[in-house]
Amino acid sequence: MDTEVLVIGSGLAGLMAADLLSTEKNVTIITKSELGQSNSLLAQGGIAAVTTADDSWTNHFFDTIRAGVFHNNEELTELLVRQGPKQIQQLTQMGVQFDANPNGQYERGMEGAHSVSRILHSGGDATGKELVNTLISRVKERCTILENHLAIDLLIMEEECYGALVMNDIGETVTISATYTILATGGAGQLYSVTSNDISVTGDGIAIAYRAGAILSDLEFMQFHPTMFAGEGSQPFLISEAVRGEGAILLTRDGKRLMEGIHDQLDLAPRDVVARTIAKQESEVYLDISMIKHFNERFPTIATLCEQNEVPLGRIPVKAGAHFLMGGVATDRYGRTSIPGLFALGEVANTGVHGANRLASNSLLEGVVFANESANWILQGDPKFKTYFKIDKKLNVSENRLLINRLREVMDGLVGISRSNEGLTTAIRQLEWHGKFVEACTKEEIVHHNMLQTSWLMATSALMRTESRGGHYREDYPYQKQSFKQKRITRRITQDDWVETQERSRAISH
């Protein structure tokens, strides 16, 4: 089939771009599961934006780059925070209702590493759900939507992207040709056993972009959220940082303040600091929420999940879990990648605005800001554009198979919150691959291959960065190095592997 714009993924960034482009273009959305199933839908935190006179874009800017350990692309970070107020207005006009007090003023929350209260919420702790559902109601009227369709590979001809090879819900392959292809597939949290991510978020976009020859960067920076529910025998779920913003505190098993003497912001220290502190504890850590009045009303989603897991709303057991990948497919301000015709938005992209450690509640903002930038460029631009990125040294690799439960054990233990040369080297040996698919064409096998490929990319990138910065912590290099400041570890597939991948894609399509 043919379309003008193909959007792969249906989280906030993809839906926003589809909605904006569908006013003038024919837009097709494909999603590997159901429409809207994504990390965006699960987002309990709000959206960070400057909406009051006691705040400014410069405050938001400096909070963002401090949290990102000065690894941020400062030009695009400035764009991100300056656009915040405008995006709130736009979302309101689309029908999103942000929580407000009786006087009609926005209720503003505080979260870790923010200097002022600037987080807007909708439905208490259901902001992502409100945004996604609002956009779903809009795109259903104007876009072609294909659910349960998995993108296998991008279609490349003469170094330009012209769509994707897709597997539908009954296992048939379909070629979808497009003038513009937008990757919006999310991050890679499901590579770890404990994660806040939706079950569909398995690094697919990163793997298929890599196989297509796109440049990736910053894949060593995975953010671990400090407060995942850690009840015995239960599936972990996120307990929003906004809970600590309302006054909740982390306690050790004997009732002592966990963050006392660790950081001057205590429980609202940057996420990497709090996550590492929790991970080092040999005994249980609890989040004390007893001081928060009307918790059920303020955090209805979390309260319901606690009730379902028979956890009293007092002290909730917590542990750190994989949350957000700061790296991804390298893009410019318009979402353009190193391959003409291919764009990337949301968590799968690396705009550089999050640096080495994302500031809380900047992810939803990033999704809508760069979806607008990308849509505006496509509506006005020339599809035959060229972009240029620095290419880092390539690595040669070999083939191996790994069951997914074993893959997660490797990622948890060796490519997790704390890393070392010995651990990463061991992980890489167990994650090596040859750059082409094994003889397997079911959806499950393709997703497993994507997970293995993305894991290998993350582990090898982490080995290259011999320092600690933000979400990347090396036990053998525990400090930042000046030589790594603003240095990006970029990755690109070798030419031989790229040719083999394209030949296989053509074979499958026939």
**380 φ, ψ to 5°?**
-115, -10
Q: What is the pLDDT of residues 397-447, one digit of tens each?
A: 333 345 788 899 999 999 999 999 999 999 999 887 544 454 557 888 889
Show the 3-state SS of 170-203: CCCEEEEEEEEEEECCCCCHHHCCCECCCCCCCC
Does residue 271 carry a catalytic annotation?
yes
Place of tokens 């979806």: 371
Which residues in 263-418 belong to E strands, given as ranges?
Answer: 285-288, 315-325, 328-330, 342-344, 349-350
- Position 111 scores a pLDDT of 84
Q: What is the pTM of this model?
A: 0.90
Report the pLDDT averaged over residues 368-376. 97
Question: Residue 289 and residue 50: Cα distance in Å, rounded?
Answer: 27
Element holding 164 (H helix, E strand): strand 160-167
- Position 390 scores a pLDDT of 46
3-state secondary structure of 448: helix
Most confident of 37-41, 168-172, 195-199, 460-464: 460-464
Q: How far apart are the first and last CA of the chain?
A: 14
3-state secondary structure of 471: coil
Which residues in 310-383 belong to E strands, given as ranges?
Answer: 315-325, 328-330, 342-344, 349-350
Average pLDDT, the chain: 89
Q: What is the pLDDT of residues 384-394, one digit of tens each?
A: 555 545 444 33
Asked if 328 and 206 touch (Cβ cutoff 8 Å), the reply is yes
Give rounded-to-5 percent helix, strand, coil for the chain: 35, 20, 45
- Position 289 scores a pLDDT of 94
- Position 182 scores a pLDDT of 98
In this structure, how many other beta carbons lie within 10 angstroms of the beta carbon of residue 501? 22
Question: Residue 144 and residue 139: Cα distance in Å, rounded?
Answer: 8
- Position 400 scores a pLDDT of 39
109-113, 140-144, 315-319, range with the lowest pLDDT: 109-113
Report the pLDDT averaged over residues 258-273. 88
Which of the 8 DSSP states describes residue 238?
B
For residue 35, the cross-strand partners are none
More confident residue, 165 or 312: 165
Q: Is the pLDDT of residue 253 over 70?
A: yes
- Per DSSP bridges, beta strands 108-109 and 119-120 are antiparallel
Most confident of 28-32, 39-43, 241-245: 28-32
Q: Is the pLDDT of residue 108 over 70?
A: yes
- Position 384 scores a pLDDT of 56
Q: What is the pLDDT of residues 284-299, one digit of tens each?
A: 999 999 999 989 888 9
The catalytic residue among 271, 408, 465, 474 is: 271
Question: Residue 267 and residue 501: Cα distance in Å, rounded?
Answer: 47
Q: Is the pLDDT of residue 496 over 80?
A: no
- Position 63 scores a pLDDT of 96
CATH number for 227-321 (one of 3.30.230.10, 3.30.300.180, 3.90.700.10, 2.40.50.140): it is 3.90.700.10
Closest by Cα among 223, 471, 437 to 347: 223
* Burial degree of 138 (CB within 10 A; 0-12, 13-18, 19+): middle
Q: Where are the domains of the chain?
A: 227-321
